[in-house]
Every structure is written in structure tokens, then in C-alpha cells.
Amino acid sequence: MSSTKTNFYFRLLLLLCIIWGCKTKENPPQKDQWTVTASSSQEERFKPSNAIDEDKSSRWGSNWSDEQWLEINTHENFIFTGLQIIWESAYAKSFEILTSVDGDKWEKGYATEQGEGGIQDIFTTPRKAKYIKINLHTRATGWGFSILDISLKGTSEVPIIIENDVVVKDAINLLDGNSNTEWSSSSENESELVLNFLKPIEIGGIRLDWAANYAQDLDYFTSLDGKDWAKTSEIKEGLGSFEILKHQKKKLQYVKLVLKNPITKNIGFTIKDITLYGPNKQLSNLVKYEILAQKMPLGLYPTQLKNRQVYWTLLGVPNDTEESLFDEYGNIEPYAGAPTLMPVLKINGKLLTALDAIKIENDLAEGYLPLPSVKWIFKDFDVSINGLSYGKTQKSVSEVSYSLENKTSKKLDATLFFVIHPVQINPKWQHGGLSLIHKLKIDNTHQPKIYVNDKALYILNKKGVKVGATTLNEGTIIQQLYKNRFPSNSSSESEDGLASGAIEYQLSVAPNKNQEIRVGVPLHENITDVNFNKSFKELKDEQIQLWKNKIDKVGFSLGNVEVENTVKSQIGYILLNQDGIVIQPGSRNYNRTWIRDGAMTCSALMRMGLLSEAKDYMEWYAERVRENGQVPPILSNKGENFTGYGADIEYDAQGEFIYGMMEYYRFTKDKKFLKKHFKTIKKAMDYMITLRNVTLEDGYMSKENNSERFRGIIPASISHEGYDIPRHSYWDDFWALRGWLDGEYASNELHEVDIANWANENHKIFASSLKKSIELTVDHFKIDYLPSSADLGDPDPTSIAIALFPCESTSILPEKLLKNTFTSYITSVKDRVSNGKTYSYTPYENRNILALAKLGMRKEAQELHEMMFNDKRPLKWNHWGEVVHSRPRLGSYIGDMPHTWVGSGYVNSVRGLIILENDAEKRIELLNGAPLDWLKNGGISLTDFPTHFGDATIKMKYQDKKLSVLINGKFEDLKEIKLFWPTDSMPKNVLIDGVKVEKYTNDSILLKANTKKIVAFW
């Protein structure tokens, strides 16, 4: 070590001794002395001590909410100079480090709002400490906070920082994570800054945050020995604010920054902070593009490159295997994995995108058809963007119309660029990210074509003024447009796959007129499928009629048109997500089929009159049931067995399959269908016995306390999607009960008396075992609610909800615990939306709407519906992802959009609040939870509406304190109708078919099956 460095350390240690006493340890005590506490733990296996056990396979995981903390007590004072955090994937975006000598008074040591996870080395000003507390403020993902390991630093790890061969006095200001402190260079117009970390470390780069006087040019070098330097990257014509200098993982001890060309001459350079990136935060191609996006105004690059959530919908035709993504700003991703085309305007010398608009409006044709639109609203003009698809299956085309509309009395001159980025709309946290463009060619003919990797990806209806293609080394297309440049080449080749380009149009729009450019996308690679001969309006009118014919199989209207439209939209989205006859919950991440999703989605389709689509899917699945009766839980869209994680440990499939088959039979009474598939239904019942026998084996789960609670139920699985390791989920058991119930029904319908008796007996035996298991689990965990699993005794009302619908298993559930479960749930929902904290939830919770209504908690059901209804993203596109975040722009996993298992749950719940079959009682229930506003205006009208007892036409309206109900049904085997009052009080007078009646209760009235008209007065 040089004398300069030795003197620096001597002075540092001497100073620290004077301040804190020389008995204070220079470095932290051994880890086995430490103890740790935390604000929460997701589960016992994710306990706080995992964060300090030096085992990288274990982790501490908090609850799924912001504002958590982890506190380490080292039990001995030492000189704290920083720490290393190794994050699991669920890291903190903003957090701070506090220190204390007594655990009472705390001093802030470090803070950041730019956390990137991975391996994070943090330095602070040296201070005496015994306690280290990490306050975790904001999550970077939708999960909790998760830490694999923490190590503390002492004086032996304080970096030495040298400027122009002189040790920097205020060096710690460069590394303290405090944006209120800054370092100023002693040199005015060029400075060399060297960081010596005292020992070799591995990093993936640095982030430099500038104060006011930044360097426009910068060179970044690294070295292992301080002699041989490697130039790692450089900045030319920098824009200040910050620099991200990432590279492949490097082992180094020294970093050198050569600062040149300050924005203001002769006053030196100023830096707020330097942050190290961990070795796993390397310079990938995606990171390169993200860095460029972060330096530019929001909107010029796809916003997901700034870790900002983007929402999208689909363009496609029914039953096709390819769909385009169309995002909330009007960008388009032609098909899975393809690069994005993005409109950018230039008016009065300024680049403008959707994010510059006063307002962005999203809508659907007719309010519910899957033909989306986007409008950018500016003061003097609008940009209207409309998307659709047309053509036959496997020959389909997506097309988007971009129209600039002049709202003034003067001519509007504008430049419209269509920019192609090597990025998908589907973000990296959705397993999307980059879409590499190695070869880009833009052929500017009368109908220009954009070729990506030798494939014609986009076709435009008009020749552009000019076209340009570029590479990253030459500057991306946005970098060039931002500097008022345009590439001279119409094609480019890029080894790193980061080519980009644009086609330019000059528009001159007359007052109160518009100009349109159309973009076509052949979804199956045949450019001749694109046809601009018809106007866009003609194409849209055709698609409107096509989709109306598909969706409006029955009459369904509500006084609340927005709710009506949202229900109808789910049917369209289900058909869009469908590949051939195969039902799937999404088009990208969930591009395969689960019988779990499929059976419930079929249920929703049938409830809205789409019977053949459900039949085709269920028959397709029936052909793939294995000889031993196992129903494959997941299949590819070609019918191949899924072999990934979970393929052999999901045990709900048998009950769901039988339910789906019998739902079709209940709606159609198709005996031919039932006879054809009865053997398969019987095999599925046999397999449920095979599964149950596993838990009847001697010694099953004998290592667990009170192991009897696992006996006689379905074995541990991951069917319940809240478990990442197999658990004895009651979800599976409720479905098994439904399977036995429907198996008995099928047998009776075909007069298979012996099999019916066998199914009935097994239903009773299984119900008894399940009831006992729940009771033992409640007692074992000393809980006052219904547990979701026998292993954990955990609350999960959304999985318990299926016991009420569709599994109809409430007879085995303790009424008090069932009520407690949903009362506590409603309390938690109200708390999460009112306490000011961020939260995430899955819209599968829409199942709870109907569950609450069935429990008599109708007001709560309506409130839950209203809350979830307003969480559609975007609101007027009428759909949800699989996850909703209270921070809408949090860049975190949301599943697929539209997610149609979620959508089917919404259909089933809303339909259930209006009309619901009670098969056990042979009863139809009306208005059990329907809000009053659904009955106003035009009221509720159901025309030729399918029920388990036959089709019905029902009209219900509430006006001037009078409820009118008209029923015209072709019912079979219906015993009674139960009508619930839509108000909080019971009516004063009731007429049934013109005759006044006195017999009714505070909440409802029982009617004969042949009742035609009910009028109630308040």
C-alpha cells in the first residue's frame, strides 16, 4: 500500500478512535453472534434468520405489502461502514439503512429510490453501531420483500477515492446514498477520479448521479491491479441527470472515471452519488435499450423500458392461433415475440407521443366488442387509433388505423413517424422484453413494407416521404429523431439485434378534417392476406356485425350499461383467447389449457348461451383422459401433455372435468352426449378413489402433529395457485365433492343404479372425511375461520368461495366459521383500500362476490363488485389481468390481458346475482345481490336465457318504488322460484299473477314454478 493510502487509513482510524474509543471493534462481530427480527414473514419457512444464515438457498420473505423492516442486532458495537444485500427476485425499489448503538435512537446511513436488486454493495459514512435496520419502503414487484443474505462492512472495506493522484477529502459523499450531499472536483474542465475498493470485487457496472455541473463526455475504465486499465464504456454528448455504465460481470479492484467537457466551464464537476451494480446486473441487450429509454422523455420509447407497467388488449379473430397485442397508447405487437410499431408525432419541432396528450381515452366498439380504440387528446388536435382483425382462421390480418384530426380553423402541418423498436409490448416481467432485429429493411413502395429478419411484418397503405434504419452503434432511431436527424439508409444489419427504424409521413390537415394512415399485419406471414381495397370503416362495420353474432347469443341487458358491457366483453375475450376449440386463459403467458380454467370458462359461456363452444372443448378434453381415469390438468393447444412443473401434482382436475361435462348436460339434457362420455366420467371417479387411497395409507404424514387431519382427503398438490409447494388444499377436496355429486347425477340420468349408489356412498364417505379434516385443522391451529389447507391452517376466502359456487359443499362447513371467513375478508378488503398502503390482489376474488351474496351479505357483495369493477385496466376496455396492483404503473407481473379465467369468474358472479340455479332444491333464485341500479332505467332483461331447467325470458324493473317481474319460461323439473327483494326493506304489498299475497319474508318470496308476473310495492 502506498504511503498516501497508509496515511489516509492511519488518520481515519485515529479519528474514529478519538470519536468512539479505541475499544470499538473496527469490523462487525461474527454472524453467529447476530440476531434478527422483522416486521413480518410470509410463512414460517421464510423467517428473518434466513437473511443472515449465509445459506443462499434460504430467504427471508415479508408479507406482500410495502413498508416492512428487517433489524439486525450484532450484540457488540463496531464501526459500521456499509453492507451487502443479496436480494431474491422480490427486491426493494426504495429503502433506507438506519443504525443505532442502543436500539432506540436511530441515525440514517443510506437511502435510495433506485434499487435494482441483485447483489447490492452499499457504503455509508463510518459510524459506531450495534443495530442495523433496513426500512423497506416500496416494492419493485407485486410480491413482498425477499432477501437471501446480508453481510455487514467495517473499516477494512472503506474504499479509497483519489482525484488526480490526491486522496479526496469528502470522498464518502460519492458513496453515501444521500442525494443531499455532493462531491465537487478540484479540477475545472477535466478530472480523473479513481475508486479503490481495497480488494477484488465483482460488479456489473456503476450508476453515477450528477449534481448541477455534469460532464458531457466521460470515459469509464476498470482494473484489477491499478496499472492495467480496460476502457469499459464511454459517454459522448451526455444529457446529465445520471449515467448508467453497465458491463458484463467483472472482477476488479479499481474503477476510473475520466470526466471531460463540463456543461458549465471552469467551475469543476459535481456528483451526488455513485452506486455499484451487482455482478448479476450485467449489460444485456435489454439493459442497453433500457438505459437509452431512461435518459429520454417518457413516451419516446415503450414505457415498460422504464419499468413502468403498460396495459394491452388483443386484436384477433375467433378461434385463431395468433393474436396481436394492442396497447393503451396505440402501439402494436403483431404476434407473440414480435417487435413493436409505435406512432410518434412531430409538430412545431417537438416530438409528441400519447404521454404528451392532455388525456388518453380508451374504448371498445359499441362499448363491449373486442375492437379497441385509443384517442390522444390535445388542445388543437386529436390522434384517433382504431384496431381490428379480419379474415379467416389461419389467414387473419390485424389492422390499425391512425388518424390525425385537426380541431382548429387553421391548417395543421405535422410529421408522423411509425417507429419500429426491437422490443415487445409484453414486458420483461411478463417473460417478454426484447424482440431482436438483426436485419431491418423498409421498402418504401406505394404500399410500404417493413421487413424484420427477412419477414414482412408490417404493411402500410401509403408511401412515406422517407424511410430510415439504424443500429445501436449509430444511434437508435429515437436518439436520431430527438437530435433532429434521420438515418440515410433504408436497411440495416445489427449483430446485437438492436436495429430500429422509421417511416416518415408529412401530413397537412385541413381545418376540422383528418388524415389517416393504415398499418396491416399478416398474422400468418402471408402479405397477400392484407387488403386495403376496403375502407377501414367498411372493415370495422363487418367486424362489428361478426362479433355481435358471436357474443349476443341471448338477450342480456341491465340498467347499468357499463356492467352489461363488461359481462359481454368477457365472452368476446374468451373467444379471442381460444385457439381453435381449445379454451385458454391468455394469449401469451397462458397459451395452453387447464381443465381448471376451461371448465369454469365453459360454465360462463353456457350461462350466456354459447353451448356449442363449451361442448366442443369438453369433448376434446374427454378424448385425452387417461386410461386410469386421471384427467390431465394441463394440455398444450395441440392436446399434448404438459410436462412442466405441476403436471403431475394437480389433483383438482377430475372433479372439474366431471363438473364441466355435467354443466353441459344440465343446460341441454343431451342424453346422447352423456351416454357417449359416461365411461370417461366413471373413470375420472375411479381416479378420485385412487387419489384418496394415498392418504389412507398407514403412516401417511405421520411426522406431522395431529396427522389424522390429512386422512381420507385428496393428497398434497399445487392445484390451488397460492401454493408453490404441494399442500393438502381443500380446493381439491371441494372439487372432488362436486365430482361425486355430478357422477351420481350422471349415473341416475342413465339409470345406472349400481354406479349411482356407489357414487352416492363415496360422496358420503368423502364428505365425512373432509368435514373431519376441517374440524381437526381448525382445532390444531386454534382458528375461527375456515382454513384453505390442512398443512397451514391459512385463510384464503377466494379458494373457499368455490364451496358455495359451483361446488355446493356448504352442508359440511360450520356455518359460524364460514361467516367468519367472509366477514374477516371484507374487513381486510376495506382495510387495504383505505389504509393508504400499497397492495396487490388477484381478481379471482370476483368469486367472492357471489359467495357473499349466497351468505346473505348482499351489501358487501355489491361493494366488492364496485371496487373490483373500477380496477379494470384500462377501465373501458372491460378486462383484468391476473393481478391488480394499487400502484397501476408498478412494473410487475400481471399474468395475461385479457385474462379470461378471471373474466369467466366475473360472468358467473354477475349472472349469479341476477339468476342462479339451486340444483339440490330444484329452484331458480332471482336478484340475490343485484344492485338496485341494475333494475332502473331499462331494468334487467333476459331473453331466451339458458338455465338448468330450460330457457327463460325474464324482465325485471324497479321504478317509482315498484318492482315488476315478468317470467316466461319453458321449465322442466323446476320446483320453485325464489325472488329476493332488491331493497333493504320488504315491500308493503305484493301481487302474484294479479292476486295479492301476504306470505313473504323480509328478504324474499317463494313462488310456484309456473308464476308469470310479480309486482311488489314499497
Q: What is the pLDDT of residues 498-512, one digit of tens each?
A: 999 999 999 999 999
How far is the CA of 620 from the CAs of 321, 607, 617, 721, in angstroms?
A: 17, 20, 5, 24
Provide the CA 483 distance to its chain's centre, in angstroms. Answer: 36
Residue 96 pLDDT class (50, 70, 90 cuts): very high
CA dihedral sign of residues 69, 72, 78, 79: negative
Q: Does residue 806 have a cis bond before it (omega within 30 degrees)?
A: yes
**Cell triple for 965:** 317481474
Q: Which fold has domain 921-1017?
A: Immunoglobulin-like (2.60.40)
Tallying the residues shown for the chain, one arrives at 1018
3-state secondary structure 783-848: CCCCECECCCCCECHHHHHHHCCCCCCHHHCCHHHHHHHHHHHHHHHHHHHHCCCCCEECHHHHHH
How far, in Å, CA of 389 to CA of 398, rounded? 4
Please, which residues bridge with residue 340 across strands? 421
* C-alpha R_g of the chain: 32
State mean pLDDT over 989-1011: 97
Comparing C-alpha atoms, which of 970, 920, 913 is closest to residue 947?
970
pLDDT given for residue 21 in this prediction: 55
Type of residue found at 715: P
Residue 52 contacts residue 34 (beta carbons within 8 Å): yes
The DSSP element (H or E) to which 444 belongs, if any, is none
Comparing C-alpha atoms, which of 652, 677, 675 is closest to residue 600?
652
Poorest-confidence range of 9-18, 370-379, 488-497? 9-18
Q: What are phi and psi of 955, to 5 degrees?
A: -125, 130
Q: What are phi and psi of 596, to 5 degrees?
A: -60, -55
pLDDT given for residue 549 in this prediction: 98
* Residue pLDDT, tens place only, 762-814: 999 999 999 999 999 999 999 999 999 999 999 999 999 999 999 999 999 99
How far, in Å, CA of 205 to CA of 249, rounded? 8
Residue 7 pLDDT class (50, 70, 90 cuts): very low
Comparing C-alpha atoms, which of 315, 471, 328 is closest to residue 397?
315
* Residue pLDDT, tens place only, 943-989: 999 999 999 999 999 999 999 999 999 899 999 999 999 999 999 99
* Residue pLDDT, tens place only, 885-931: 999 999 999 999 999 999 999 999 999 999 999 999 999 999 999 99
- Provide the strand spans (E) within 523-669: 555-557, 593-594, 634-635
pLDDT given for residue 575 in this prediction: 98
Type of residue found at 307: N
How far, in Å, CA of 673 to CA of 667, rounded? 12
Residue 721 pLDDT class (50, 70, 90 cuts): confident
Report the percentage of the chain scoring pLDDT > 90. Answer: 83
Q: What is the CATH number of domain 160-283?
A: 2.60.120.260
* Residue pLDDT, tens place only, 817-841: 999 999 999 999 999 988 888 899 9
Please report how the helices 611-622 and 671-695 are oriented relative to each other, as an axis angle in degrees rounded to 10.
50
Q: Does residue 931 have a cis bond before it (omega within 30 degrees)?
A: no
Average pLDDT taken over every residue of the chain: 94
Residue 682 contacts residue 722 (beta carbons within 8 Å): no
Report the percentage of the chain scoring pLDDT > 70. Answer: 97
Please, which residues bridge with residue 518 across strands? 401
**What DSSP character marks residue 633?**
S
pLDDT given for residue 177 in this prediction: 75
Comparing C-alpha atoms, which of 168, 153, 86, 92 is closest to residue 123?
153
Strands 915-918 and 923-926: antiparallel
**What is the residue-wise DSSP string for 715-770?**
PPBS-STT-SS-B-BHHHHHHHHHHHHHHHHHHHHTT-HHHHHHHHHHHHHHHHHH
Query: What are the residues whose beta carbons fall under 8 Å from the beta carbon of 869, sequence distance 6 or more?
Result: 562, 563, 566
- Provide the strand spans (E) within 531-643: 555-557, 593-594, 634-635
**What is the residue-wise DSSP string for 881-908?**
-S-EESSTTB------SS-HHHHHHHHH
Residue 163 contacts residue 193 (beta carbons within 8 Å): yes
**What is the residue-wise DSSP string for 363-411?**
EEGGGTSS-EEEEEE-SSEEEEEEEEEESSTTS-EEEEEEEEEE-SSS-
pLDDT(657) > 50 = yes
How far, in Å, CA of 323 to CA of 397, rounded? 9
Poorest-confidence range of 398-412, 715-729, 749-763, 961-975? 715-729
- Provide the 3-class DSSP secondary structure of residue 663: helix
pLDDT(745) > 80 = yes
Most confident option among 188-202, 288-302, 865-879: 865-879
pLDDT given for residue 391 in this prediction: 96
Residue 645 pLDDT class (50, 70, 90 cuts): confident
Residue 175 pLDDT class (50, 70, 90 cuts): confident
How far, in Å, CA of 374 to CA of 354, rounded? 9
How far, in Å, CA of 154 to CA of 755, rounded? 74
pLDDT(724) > 70 = yes
Residue 1 pLDDT class (50, 70, 90 cuts): very low
CA dihedral sign of residues 687, 692, 697, 703: positive
pLDDT(18) > 70 = no
CA max distance for the chain: 108
pLDDT(250) > 50 = yes
**Cell triple for 663:** 354443466
pLDDT given for residue 23 in this prediction: 65
How far, in Å, CA of 152 to CA of 129, rounded? 11
Poorest-confidence range of 20-34, 584-598, 601-615, 684-698? 20-34
Q: What is the CATH number of domain 553-912?
A: 1.50.10.10
pLDDT given for residue 17 in this prediction: 53
Comparing C-alpha atoms, which of 36, 147, 148, 151 is closest to residue 92?
147
Please, which residues bridge with residue 520 across strands? 399, 459
Q: Which fold has domain 25-153?
A: Jelly Rolls (2.60.120)
How far is the CA of 342 from the CAs of 353, 531, 558, in angstroms?
A: 9, 21, 38
Residue 5 pLDDT class (50, 70, 90 cuts): very low
CA dihedral sign of residues 468, 473, 474, 479: positive
Residue 22 pLDDT class (50, 70, 90 cuts): low
**Cell triple for 125:** 459514512
Residue 355 contacts residue 303 (beta carbons within 8 Å): yes
pLDDT given for residue 9 in this prediction: 44
Query: What are the residues whose beta carbons fall under 8 Å from the beta carbon of 620, sequence distance 6 or more?
Result: 581, 582, 639
Asked if the domains 25-153 and 160-283 are classified in one and the same CATH topology, the answer is yes
**What DSSP character marks residue 597?**
H
Residue 666 pLDDT class (50, 70, 90 cuts): very high
How far, in Å, CA of 480 to CA of 485, rounded? 5
Architecture of domain 317-542: Distorted Sandwich (2.70)
pLDDT(240) > 80 = yes
Residue 180 contacts residue 212 (beta carbons within 8 Å): no
How far is the CA of 451 from the CAs of 387, 390, 425, 486, 526, in angstroms?
A: 21, 22, 19, 19, 12
- Report domain extents, the chain: 25-153, 160-283, 317-542, 553-912, 921-1017
* Residue pLDDT, tens place only, 417-476: 999 999 999 999 999 999 999 999 999 999 999 999 999 999 999 999 999 999 998 999
The pairs formed by 344-348 with CB atoms below 8 angstroms and a separation of 24 or more are 344/300, 344/416, 344/417, 344/418, 344/419, 344/478, 344/481, 344/502, 345/383, 345/404, 345/414, 345/415, 345/416, 345/417, 346/414, 346/415, 346/416, 346/417, 346/481, 347/381, 347/412, 347/413, 347/414, 347/415
